[in-house]
Structure 1
Amino acid sequence: MHVLILGGTTEGRRLAAELAGDPALRVTSSLAGRVAEPRLPAGEVRIGGFGGPAGLAAWLRAQHVDALIDATHPFAGTISRNAAEAAAEVHVPLLGLRRPSWVPVDGDDWHPVDSLDAAAAALPALGERVFLTTGRQGLAAFAHLDLWFLARSVDAPEPPLPARTEVLLDRGPFDLDGERAVLREHRIDVLVTKDSGGAATAPKLEAARELGLPVVVVRRPQPPAGVPTAPDVAAAVAWLDARRG
């Protein structure tokens, strides 16, 4: 049974590791190739795009894929839509592996928005020194703002950037002590994040709560309609086991 995992996330790597030892499975993980030195999962790995839904459908046919699991980032909306369209075309079962969203707790000062542009519009009323943790793509949405930014990403972002930007190259998981230190050292007064979910980058939310900082949270895009989802690797494995009877 050939399983294709659209990966690049912690969950994708954990799922590949869980499945790779099964001799009855062929496991291939596909990475988008947007990170210069990605953490490679167990099993076979391919890097790069497919060429849209038609290209993915052709790959599924040519490689005789029996099950497709979309374990991409919750904000990777295009590949998720492509996966849904391709899977429907070739009649391959598709599962979305989606870590649950973060949920605010007592003491949080969250400001939910629907886009990076909306996040940028909210910032001037909230603070002047911004910790921007939305990744290296999309920073152009903030380029017009006369605020100070600390932008954290795995790889260096490309222009346009805000005029006053310090780049912090780092890769999660992050711990609470480290996030406290970043906020204090850089005198951050507002945090911007996408609702990525999961534990790897959640400590920044706790650190912001402790310091009483507002947090602008970009909501996730809606997933493709009609695609079943699993909240964790165990549920994804159970779904796959049911597919093979």
Structure 2
Amino acid sequence: MKIVVIGGTGLIGSKVVRRLEAHGHQAIAAAPNTGVNSLTGEGLDEAMAGASVVVDLSNSPSFEDNAVLEFFRTSTTNLLEAEKKAGVGHHVALSIVGTERSPQIGYFRAKVAQEELIQTSGIPFSLVHATQFYEFVKAIADSSEVDGAVRIQPVNFQPIAGDDVADAVAKTAAGEPLNKRIDVAGPELSRMDEFFRKALADLGDPREVITDPEATYYGAVVAEDALVPIDEVTLGRIHYADWEKQ
């Protein structure tokens, strides 16, 4: 089966491509550096010719509120139009657990807009909602630093390894359309401040982690369970402590 992976050279996309190829599929890594650009439409018709499935792992180069919203609206519209022309029968997109619960975060609002376009497109679809990736722990800590200390909210947090996300996306892409979303999360639920305190200590990062109920996550204060699944969820197999040792 031919499966086009938009963003197929990125962190998750490259892992998804390898998994699909290992199971005998023709996986096309589609990205600007391979001549396929979902934002401009370049190369989309050629890439999708004969494709059965499109996996959308694209991401905006800017997280500014208006820019990220425009990116996902334009990119997703271009993809869906090209898929209709090519007769693609399954659109898979990776999104974030809790997007609809934190509309104060511009990136989350943009992902909600993306999902609405997919759900109303008429193309059979599957949405994979994942929690935050282990791979971004250091970046989140850096963005949360104030005067040399890392300020983190004491809310629930359940991050996941990129490999577990790729497993879920590849499995979904190779299956029948779900026409709904599924949630995937890491195997351990913790408090976000406690998680970062231990994670930074394990990394040898000397910065103090301060528990701050008013600290922001991607620019906004979030609710207690905003970042974790509250319904049925598939848990990853990789614990953070094991991932950290890799």
TM-score (norm 2): 0.41
Structure with the higher fraction of residues in helix conformation: 2
Structure with the higher fraction of residues in strand conformation: 1
